[in-house]
Amino acid sequence: MLLTADIGNTNIKFGIFREKELIRTLTISCNKAKTADEYGVELYSLIRVMGIHRDDFTGCIISSVVPLVTTRIEDAVRDILGVEPLIVGPGVKTGLNIRIDDPSTLGSDLVCACVAANAHNDAPMIVISMGTATVWCVIDQNGSMIGCPIAPGVSVSLEALTKNTALLQGVAFNAPSSVIGKNTDKSIRAGVVWGTVCMIDGMIDMIEKEIGAKCKVLATGGLADKIIRHCEHDITVKKNLIMEGLRLIYERNKKG
C-alpha cells in the first residue's frame, strides 16, 4: 500500500492506495505546535481504525506547503510505518513542464493537481484549487503549466469579514436563494458565496480570452463542492486530484 499526504495550512489529508485504487482518505488538522510523536499517534490510530497493519505500507509520498510540519510528518511516517517518505520538491521527477519565472516557487500541491489533470484530460485546462487560497492553474495546449492567478480563499475571506465582529459570526457557506440579502446572515452568504462564484466564472472567461482557447476546467479543495455547483461554466469537481497526482509522481520516481 502507498500512503499519500497533502500538508496544507489548515488540514493534512492522507490517502491510502492499494495499487492504483484510492481506498480511503483521512483528514486531520494541521497544527504547528504538534510534535512528531503526536502526529505519529494520530496516524497510527487512523490506520488501526481501518484495520490496516503498518507492515502493509511499502511507500509514502508527501506534498507540503508548511515546512515546519513536513519534518514532523516525515518522522512520524518513519516511526509508525517504517518507510522513507518521498517529498515532492526540487529533484523529484513530476513530468510537468512548469513555465513560470521560478518553477521552484510553485506549491507542491498545485504541481500534484496539475500532474493528475494532465494524466486524465486533454489540454488546455484550468485547474482550480480551493483551499486557504483560491488558485487557477493554467495549462496550455502543450500541457505546460504557464501561470496561476491567486486570490484569498473563501474561508479566509469570510474570516477576515467576521473576525472580532460578534454580530457577523457563525455564518455558513450555503448559498442564499437571492443575491440581494435582506438580513445580515443572508447578505454575508450572498457576498461570500455568490461573489466567489462570479469571481471564478469571470477568471475563467479572462483566462480563456488571454490564451485564445476553450479550456477543460477542473476544481479541487474542501469547499469546491459548495461553490462550483453554482458556477455557469462546466466545471468538474475532483476532490482527490492531489492524492492522484501524488500517486503518479511516486510511481514515476519509483520506476526511475
Catalytic residue among 6, 75, 109, 225: 109
- 10: phi then psi, degrees, rounded to nearest 5: -105, -45
Listing DSSP states for 130-160 in one string gives ESSEEEEEEE-TTS-EEE--EEE-HHHHHHH
- Distance (Å, whole) CA 180 – CA 177: 9
Known catalytic residue at 109? yes
Catalogue the long-range contacts made by 161-164 (C-beta closer than 8 Å, 24 or more residues apart). Answer: 161/188, 161/192, 162/188
Active site residues: 109
